[in-house]
Structure 1
């Protein structure tokens, strides 16, 4: 394997799990915001149930967008593993531990 390929592989081994984690962090943050918004609406006396509905719908849309992004990043991860096998001769049976434990093969997660 060339030095350039080795450097690229090292960057990808660092960057792919980091991207996966950041998307998860964003999903958690939006989910927490959703909880706060709905709780505030429920707990504020005199606020009708219809108040803030558009905001809640926007947050739900943002959550779904993040779920879609997460799926796309997981697919990219799988694609990169396959490219590594084909071009660099890697015999990858599993990704680095930092990527997190996945009990199913990646294509099943899609």
Structure 2
């Protein structure tokens, strides 16, 4: 059973930061797109109302991503708490920050 826990913990150790990084990448991409839209509008000399609906939708998408990021961060914290409760990990910080490695319970002394 402890080997299964170690394997699951290793997978989460990989997947959680990947999800967090992907959301950050999406935030950057939407911010970049929003900037490009506004710069294009300015470059062609279009009135401020041109593309306003597009900009609003992009900002709404950005806010949605910020909310998703918060949810992932809360899930990350909950997973760390579950790890402490079920696997006996005493992590003051997440493994990637603390520099600790997941060790199967069978090898703990």
For the criterion TM > 0.5, the same-fold answer is yes
Q: Which has the higher contact order (CA 8 A, sep 6+)?
A: 2
Q: Point out 4+ residue stretches in structure 1 off by more than 4 angstroms.
A: none
RMSD between superposed Cα atoms in Å? 1.5
8 Å CA contact 1:17–1:98 kept in 2: the answer is no
Quote the residue 2:24 is aligned against. 24
Which residues of structure 1 form unaligned runs of 5+? Answer: 100-110
| TM-superposed deviation, 1:43 | 1.5
Alpha-carbon distance change, 2 to 89 in structure 1, aligned in 2, over 3 angstroms:
same
Cα distance in 2 for residues equivalent to 1:14 and 1:33: 29
What TM-score do you get using the length of structure 2 for normalisation?
0.85
Aligned residue in 2 for 1:12 = 12
Structure 2: state its 5+ residue gaps.
99-109
Q: Give the structure with higher Rg (CA).
A: 2
Matches within 5 A, 1:53-92: 53-92=52-91
